Amino acid sequence: MGKSEQAFHAPIERETSMFEQLEKINARPKPFEFYTAYDLWTDAHTSKRMLEFHLDGKTDTSSRNAAFVDRSVDWIAARFNIGAGKKIADFGCGPGLYAARLARRQAEVTGIDFSKRSIQYAREAAAGEGLAIQYVMQNYLDFETDDRFHLIMMIMCDFSVLSPAQRSNMLTRFHTFLAPGGFVLLDVYSQAAFDEREEKALFETNLLNGFWSPSRYYGFLNTFKYEKEKLVLDQYTIVEAARMRTVYNWFQHFSPEELEEEFKLSGFSVESFYSDVAGAPFMRASREFAVVAKKL
């Protein structure tokens, strides 16, 4: 083969390689095929950004805004008669926004989260206030305890990011961890929210304003909808100079009937539904809704 032929063929080989990479980036995974929540919350850069969002009391990015959290805790305290002697577990507690407020009402609170940065902040904040909160840095899917709680919370739609097997495991653990007659309070995404989502493919330099890395990167966002499962995936592929990684954010959407069935299978009775964890009356048009379930 002559030099002219080599020069002609080389660019084609590189183009094919790039095409194959793009095909892989834009491929639709099977429902819950990959689980990367740990990577998102423990990466040094993204965990710092997530904590910043948590502590920004004006936004609803990682936590809901401070005014809502205050209103939510007021409702929780009244709904579950929170006070001295009440034991609460907050699964996915983050930097302790709910845990601290409930501890100020004399509840005995345990917070579980696998973000080292968030747990460190929560412990320092509790120590500064003299609050005796037990914070556990661990994936809540693996959490074990001999404590028995009167209330278990999982707020900010954490339940919706779990696969069916993970949800079943979580509810079984909740049932074990609860005292007789104890309650679970959690919120999920609704089918109304599923209907609003649309599939898309997006590419940007430094996608999400540098959220994914302190260095320059190229970001791909693929949003996939799974009609049968009522499931949405936001798939982020981040290409940096030294590495390429993919983060899978799954969002299960529920009807009240479907959520109630999952609780029944794990030994719970659903007492009521609300449009949020601040006790707003339930409406099917709400993008999220909350459930209160009692251990049988």
Q: What pLDDT does residue 18 have?
A: 87
Q: Which pLDDT band holds residue 164 (cuts at 50, 70, 90)?
A: very high
The sign one gets for the Cα dihedral 262, 268, 269, 274 is: negative
Q: Which pLDDT band holds residue 13 (cuts at 50, 70, 90)?
A: low
The residue with greater pLDDT, 54 or 246, is 246
Residue 182, number of CB atoms within 10 A of its CB: 22
Nearest to 231 by CA among 285, 160, 289, 291: 160
Q: Give me the half-sphere count of Cα atoms (radius 13 Å) on the Cβ side of residue 195.
A: 9
Q: What pLDDT does residue 60 have?
A: 64
92 neighbors 112 (Cβ within 8 angstroms): yes
pLDDT at 186 over 60: yes
Nearest to 258 by CA among 190, 165, 184, 207: 190
Domain ranges in the chain? 37-189+253-295
Q: What pLDDT does residue 63 have?
A: 66
Is the domain defined by 37-189+253-295 classed in CATH 3.40.50.150? yes
Q: Which pLDDT band holds residue 272 (cuts at 50, 70, 90)?
A: very high
Q: Which pLDDT band holds residue 268 (cuts at 50, 70, 90)?
A: very high
Q: What pLDDT does residue 1 have?
A: 43
Q: What is the pLDDT of residues 128-145, one digit of tens each?
A: 999 999 999 999 999 999
Q: What is the pLDDT of residues 79-133, one digit of tens each?
A: 999 999 999 999 999 999 999 999 999 999 999 999 999 999 999 999 999 999 9
Q: What pLDDT does residue 16 have?
A: 58
pLDDT at 225 over 50: yes
What Å distances lie between residue 211 and 27, 40, 131, 223, CA to CA?
23, 11, 32, 18
Helix axes 44-55, 116-129, angle to 10 degrees: 40
Q: What is the pLDDT of residues 30-84, one digit of tens each?
A: 999 999 987 777 788 888 888 787 777 677 665 679 999 999 999 999 999 999 9
pLDDT at 196 over 80: yes
Mean pLDDT estimate for the chain = 92
Classify residue 70 as left (phi > 0), alpha (psi -120 to 50) or beta: alpha
- The H or E element that residue 204 is part of is strand 200-205
